[in-house]
Amino acid sequence: MKPTECTTILVGKKASIDGSTMIARSEDGGREIIPESFKVVHPADQPRHYKSVITGCEVDLPEEPMRYTSAPDASGKQGIWAAAGINEVNVAMTATETITTNARIQGVDPLLVNAGLGEEDFVTLTLPYIHTAREGVTRVGHLLEKYGTYEMNGMAFADHDEIWYLETIGGHHWAARRIPDDAYVVAPNRLNIDEFDFDSPDFMASADLQELINTYHLNPDFEGYNFRHIFGSATIKDTHYNNPRAWYVHHYFDPESTTTPLDQDQPFITYANRKISVDDIMFLMASHYQNTPYDAYGDQGTPAEKKRFRPIGINRNFETHVLQIRNDVPTGLAGVQWLGFGPNTFNAMVPFYTNITDTPASFRDTGAKFNLHSIFWLNKLMSQLGDTNFKLYGELEDAFEQKTVAGCYQIQHATDQEAQALQGAALQAALTTANQKMADLTFANTVELLGAMVDEGHSHMQLKYDLLD
């Protein structure tokens, strides 16, 4: 089974700088490199009968799917793993964030063994059929109740108005919360939903979940329902692997925050001291505790401190996305899938339009083996070279990222203006062309950066003997 350990960031429309909803996630893996790609799935290509590769679970699907974008595994050997995308009515979905559980709920509703659905399946089974974020919650809830799951997962849905975050609970149960419009969320690899109100329309859950909690005495609190306390974990691993990531994001958006890296009760719903941009999310998804003793590349901490906490930006980032539904442009231009491949310390995220017919070959045709025509493999190569001497190569990367993102912004702004009056096939063609321009720009800048790194690193090799030595 493919290991997946990610970080999710959600931003409500009143918390964002431009009024858009944004749901973001880094798709992380394990020791094995997992190449990723970017594709459009047309209705004719969507299966009508689905069978999971991992468990063999079979699902009959509706007859009229919508077109949607996806970021699937390039090899497909363990299934599709579509990961994230935006469909033709501008509903976004990202799935999934691997989360934690505890023995109390597993004793009541155990995870399935060699059966049910998981991260491999959820986007393919959901995104082509939903017209709102709320519909995404109800469809996944139905799938969980009918087929069950073998793992604990969190997932998010967004439309132009709402963001919902859902977490699986045991083998067949689930809960979800609407994110307030003026709030943001950071969700690392633990059960994240805390305070839950069964009587509010901003919360949804399995019909019998409250009864299950009460019947089996699962609630450790004297008052209310805190789902992290009821269904989640508070382990030593959480204090080193999960909680510090939330702490770093909270302090980035509010330096006056009083939380510490070890806090088990990092708040789920949080508020920034300013409006949040895509650039903020890109920085955080690449972050490694800069300006703290815990930065592996920094000069403040001891060797032990530098390895104490798992960062968000890590060698195991294989694909990262920000799914943005914009409210300041016509509907046909609203969906943008920002996409970056490989470790976020050495890549640039590209704002691809999703109302398109195809994706650029450098992002689409990744291939399971290393090749120099794929942006995924170029980014992976750069990150591994950059990791050998971050102080030497870091400034080159910063300049590359700013240059690339600025260039993509310029293409996006021009396209937004030029495509205002276009509709239908003409609009899709224009946006597909704009995506190709951004991909070409990114590829050229990536090759240029790689060359600059080679030039800069030449004189710093250990195996050298200059005439003046």
Are the C-beta atoms of 159 and 181 separated by less than 8 Å?
A: no
With 70 as the cut, is the pLDDT of residue 4 above it? Answer: no
Write out pLDDT tens, residues 301-345: 999 999 999 999 999 999 999 999 999 999 999 999 999 999 999
Angle at 297 between CA 262 and CA 371, to 5 degrees: 115
Confidence of residue 469 (pLDDT cuts 50, 70, 90): low
Confidence of residue 143 (pLDDT cuts 50, 70, 90): very high
Least confident of 27-36, 90-99, 140-149, 433-442: 27-36
**How distant, in Å, are the alpha carbons of 1, 114, 189, 310, 393 from that of 239?**
26, 30, 11, 10, 31
With 90 as the cut, is the pLDDT of residue 465 above it? Answer: no
Q: For a pLDDT cut of 70, what percent of the chain falls above it?
A: 99
Whether the ω angle into residue 7 lies within 30 degrees of 0, i.e. cis, is no
The tokens describing 399, both together, are: 């300049």
Q: Which residue has the tokens 């995870």?
A: 111
The tokens describing 93, both together, are: 């979905």
Q: Which helix (H) or strand (E) holds 228?
A: helix 227-231
CB atoms within 10 A of CB 308: 17
Greater confidence (1 vs 357) lies with: 357
Mean pLDDT of 379-401: 97
Q: In whole numbers, what is the pLDDT of the chain averaged over residues?
A: 97
Confidence of residue 464 (pLDDT cuts 50, 70, 90): confident
Nearest to 400 by CA among 455, 453, 324: 453
**Burial code of 252-288, b = ≥16 C-beta within 10 A, e = fewer?**
bbeeebebebebeebbbbbebeeebebebbbbbbbbb
Mean pLDDT of 398-426: 98
Write out pLDDT tens, residues 51-61: 999 999 999 99
CA–CA separation, 16 and 274 (whole Å): 9
Q: Which domains does the chain have, with CATH numbers?
A: 7-369 (3.60.60.10)
CB atoms within 10 A of CB 145: 14
Confidence of residue 468 (pLDDT cuts 50, 70, 90): low
- The DSSP-derived string for 10-61 is EE-TTTBTTS-EEEEEEEE--SS---B--EEE-GGGS-SEEE-TTT--EEE-
CA-based torsion, 42, 47, 51, 53: positive or negative: negative
Q: Identify the bridge partners of residue 9 per DSSP, sorted by sequence position.
A: 24, 186
Are the C-beta atoms of 385 and 376 separated by less than 8 Å?
A: no
Confidence of residue 94 (pLDDT cuts 50, 70, 90): very high
pTM for the structure as a whole: 0.98
Write out pLDDT tens, residues 153-187: 999 999 999 999 999 999 999 999 999 999 999 99
- The DSSP-derived string for 343-354 is -GGG---EEEES
Are the C-beta atoms of 33 and 318 separated by less than 8 Å?
A: yes
With 70 as the cut, is the pLDDT of residue 108 above it? Answer: yes
Q: Which residue has the tokens 């009968």?
A: 49
Q: Which residue has the tokens 């070279």?
A: 385
Are the C-beta atoms of 347 and 340 separated by less than 8 Å?
A: yes
With 70 as the cut, is the pLDDT of residue 1 above it? Answer: no
pLDDT recorded at residue 80? 97
**How distant, in Å, are the alpha carbons of 22, 199, 277 from that of 313?**
19, 38, 18
User: Which positions ≥6 away from 437 have C-beta within 8 Å?
Assistant: 411
Q: Which residue has the tokens 């025509």?
A: 373
List active site positions: 6
CA–CA separation, 203 and 31 (whole Å): 37
The tokens describing 373, both together, are: 């025509």
170 φ/ψ angles, rounded to the nearest 5 degrees: 65, -160
Nearest to 336 by CA among 26, 95, 20, 35: 20
pLDDT recorded at residue 87? 98
